[in-house]
Amino acid sequence: MSLLMILLTIFLPPVAVALKQGIGVQFLINLVLTLIGWLPGVIHAFWVNTRGGETLA
């Protein structure tokens, strides 16, 4: 993960998830978690961005 992606994941978790997975289910889950509390959104964003799988890039 690049430094820019790490910073986005910490400060703007939904944006980081959208860049990695696109606007979809993971983005909506992360948006709700971030609205509930910042930390759950960050944890989910790190999980999405570090697991192997499909990417848009």
**Is 10 a member of any domain?**
yes
Domain interval for residue 44: 3-50
Residue 23's pLDDT is what? 95
**Is 56 a member of any domain?**
no
Q: pTM for the whole thing? A: 0.85
Residue 51's pLDDT is what? 87
Residue 37's pLDDT is what? 94
**Is 55 a member of any domain?**
no
Residues 1-57 have pLDDT tens digits of 689 999 999 999 999 999 999 999 999 999 999 999 999 999 999 999 998 666 665
* Contact assessment for residue 27 and residue 14, using Cβ atoms and an 8 Å cutoff: yes
Q: How far apart are CA 36 and CA 5, in angstroms?
A: 22
**Is 40 a member of any domain?**
yes
**Is 30 a member of any domain?**
yes
* Count of the separate structural domains present in the chain: 1
**Is 57 a member of any domain?**
no
